[in-house]
Structure 1
Amino acid sequence: MIVALLNQKGGVGKTTLALHLAGQWTRQGRRVLLIDADPQGSALDWSQQRATEGLPRLFSVVGLARDTLHIEAPELARGMDHVVIDGPPRVANLLRSALFACDLALIPVQPSPLDGWASAEMLKLIDQARIFKPEIGARFLLNRYHARTLIARATAESLAEHDPPLLAHHVGQRVVFADAMQTGRLVSEIDPESAAAREITALAAEIEAIRS
Structure 2
Amino acid sequence: MIVALLNQNGGVGKTTLALHLAGAWVQRGHRVTLIDADPQGSALDWSQQRARENMPRLFTVVGLARDTLHREVPELARDADHVVIDGPPRVAGLMRSALLAADLVLIPVQPSPFDGWASAEMLALLSEARIYRPELVARFVLNRCAARTVIARETAETLADHDPPVLAATVGQRVVFADAAQSGRLASEIDGDSPAAREIMALAAEIERLRVGRAAL
Asked if Structure 1 and Structure 2 have the same fold, meaning a TM-score greater than 0.5 normalized by the shorter chain, the answer is yes
Which residues of 2 match residues 34-183 of structure 1 at below 5 A? 34-113=34-113, 116-183=116-183
Shift of 1:155: 1.2
Q: Is the 8 A contact 1:106 1:141 kept in 2?
A: yes
Q: Residue 32 of structure 1 aligns to which amino acid in structure 2?
A: V
Partner of 2:187: 187
Moved more, 156-165 or 113-122: 113-122
Distance 1:153 1:146 in 2: 10
Aligned length: 212
Distance 1:114 1:63, change over 3 A: farther
Q: Which moved more, 1:128-137 or 1:142-151?
A: 142-151
CA deviation after TM superposition for structure 1 residue 79, in Å: 1.9
3-state SS of the aligned residue for 2:185?
coil
Q: Name the aligned partner's letter for residue 202 of structure 1.
A: A
Structure 1 residues 180 and 115, CA gap change in structure 2 (3 angstroms): farther
**Deviation of residue 114 (structure 1)?**
7.0
1:148–1:28 Cα change, 3 Å: closer
Q: Could you say which residue in structure 2 is the equivalent of 1:21? A: 21
How far apart, CA to CA, are the structure 2 residues paired with 1:100 and 1:84? Answer: 14
The Cα shift of 1:43 comes to 0.1
Distance in 1, matches of 2:57 and 2:113, equals 38
| CA drift at 1:161 | 2.2
Range with bigger deviation, 73-82 or 144-153: 144-153
Distance 2:118 2:158 in 1: 14
User: Secondary structure of the residue that 1:193 maps to in structure 2?
Assistant: coil
Structure 1: tracts of 5 or more residues without a match: none
Please report how far the alpha carbon of residue 53 of structure 1 lies from its aligned counterpart in structure 2 after TM superposition: 1.1
Q: Alpha-carbon deviations, 1:8-38, whole Å to 9, x = none? A: 0000000000000000111111010000000
Aligned equivalents of 1:77, 1:49: Cα separation in 2: 25
**TM-score, structure 2 length as denominator?**
0.94
With 31-40 and 160-169 compared, the bigger mean Cα shift is at 160-169
Secondary structure at the aligned position of 2:119 is classed as: helix
Tell me the distance in 2 between the aligned counterparts of 1:12 and 1:115: 15
Which residue of structure 1 aligns with residue 8 of structure 2?
A: 8
**Residue in 2 that maps onto 1:208:** 208
Deviation at 1:154, TM superposition (A): 1.6
- Residue 113 of structure 1 deviates from its aligned partner by 2.8
Residues 109, 115 of structure 1: 8 Å contact kept: no
The whole-number CA distance in structure 2 between the counterparts of 1:168 and 1:115 is 21
Alpha-carbon distance between aligned partners in 1 of 2:82 and 2:119, rounded to the nearest angstrom: 25
C-alpha contact 1:112 1:151 (8 A) present in aligned 2: yes
Could you list the per-position Cα deviations for residues 142-161 of structure 1 after superposition, in whole angstroms to 9, with x for gaps in the alignment?
00112432222221111112
Change (3 A) 1:114 1:91: farther
Equivalent pair of 1:9/1:115 in contact (CA under 8 Å): no
Give the C-alpha shift of residue 45 in structure 1: 0.2
User: Unaligned stretches of 5+ in structure 2?
Assistant: none
Aligned-pair distance for 1:121? 2.1
